[in-house]
Amino acid sequence: MAVTSPCQEAKTTSSQATNDVVEGIVVSSSRETIVVRTPDDQFQLFIFDQGTEKPPNLLPGTHVRVASKPTDESGVRLATTVTPLEEAPAAQAAPAPKQAAPPASVSKAETEIERNVRRFRIGFHAGAALDPELFLFGVQSQIGPIFNHNVSFHPNAEFAFGEVTDLIAVNLEVVYRLPITARQGRWSAYAGAGPALNFIQQSFNGGRNISFSNFDYETGFNILTGFQSRRGTYVELKTSLWSHPAPTLRFIVGYTF
């Protein structure tokens, strides 16, 4: 089944959108997505996963039959089988009439999905910590998937400041995307863990003399869980073990590009 978006706002959704199999012409395709235009002038966006059966290349203009099933997001369906029925016209042949572009909603969802599956992403975050109370900000990267399509490496660095405690932390965390939502869904849940290299300074005399020589080193272990939007925003809850006086609990909001 394929999710449909009308070419024109005045059009109603095609009845083919509720079928298991749709035929049409490939408008665009990528490693993770395909947009098909049906004979009744509808654009349908499909995503792929590890089980999708499809040819290695799907050129624009190819006539295809797509079997699919719904996802948790309106406008996006998961392709199970993509079968070419007729190859795209040869480059030297007479050019086909120019087709209308997909609606903005389809193009936007396609772009978001492609960005979400990049193998390397960078971002930033900010938040608050408890016990001790700190304000924190940091930078992070996402590398993967590694070993499994649900596993990625999230190294990050945090800088935290409080009334008494200052913290510099390098966190080497591995994250597992929980398969309770579609891989390319609008939101995904995850959990993770990894070692933390903490450099901590505490001053109880009311002054602050930030010098790296004043920091004490503690090795800890982080456990975390969170939710990430396909657009890049994420919220995260993290705790640190065996690294007192590093914060016991951290609430983080971030964004990855």
What are the angstrom distances between the C-alpha of 10 and each of 6, 101, 123, 248?
Answer: 8, 16, 40, 55
Q: Work out the average pLDDT over 48-59.
A: 89
The more confident residue out of 194 and 41 is 194
Cβ of 168: how many Cβ atoms within 10 Å? 18
Most confident segment among 29-33, 145-149, 178-182, 190-194:
190-194
* 3-state class (DSSP) for residue 93: coil
pLDDT at residue 197, rounded to an integer: 95
Instruction: Report the CATH number of the 120-256 domain.
Output: 2.40.160.20
The more confident residue out of 86 and 155 is 155
pLDDT above 60: residue 156 = yes
Task: Using the Cα atoms of residue 46, residue 48, residue 52 and residue 56 in order, give the sign of their dihedral.
Answer: positive
Q: Work out the average pLDDT over 70-79.
A: 85
What are the angstrom distances between the C-alpha of 19 and each of 1, 67, 201?
Answer: 5, 9, 62
pLDDT band for 3, please (50, 70, 90 cuts).
Answer: very low
CB 1 within 8 A of CB 68: yes
pLDDT at residue 191, rounded to an integer: 97
pLDDT at residue 124, rounded to an integer: 97
**Strand-pair category, 187-202 with 33-37:** unpaired
CB 147 within 8 A of CB 172: no
Cβ of 74: how many Cβ atoms within 10 Å? 12
pTM of model > 0.75 = no
pLDDT tens string 95-122: 555 566 788 888 888 888 887 878 899 9
DSSP annotation of 186 = S
Angle at 55 between CA 50 and CA 61, to 5 degrees: 125
Q: Work out the average pLDDT over 27-53.
A: 90
User: How high does pLDDT run on average in the chain?
Assistant: 84
CATH topology agreement for domains 3-116 and 120-256: no
Give percent of the chain with pLDDT exceeding 70.
84
* 3-state class (DSSP) for residue 194: strand
pLDDT tens string 222-246: 999 999 998 899 999 999 998 888 8
pLDDT at residue 211, rounded to an integer: 64
pLDDT tens string 182-222: 667 788 999 999 999 999 988 766 556 666 667 889 999 99
Separation of alpha carbons 59 and 54, rounded Å: 12
pLDDT at residue 98, rounded to an integer: 57
CATH architecture for the domain at 3-116: Beta Barrel (2.40)
pLDDT tens string 12-23: 334 344 458 999
Residue type, 56: P
| Nearest Cα residue to 34 out of 26, 43, 42, 22 | 26
pLDDT at residue 26, rounded to an integer: 94
pLDDT at residue 107, rounded to an integer: 87
Q: Where are the domains of the chain?
A: 3-116, 120-256
Q: Is 189 exposed, middle or buried (0-12, 13-18, 19+ CB in 10 A)?
A: middle
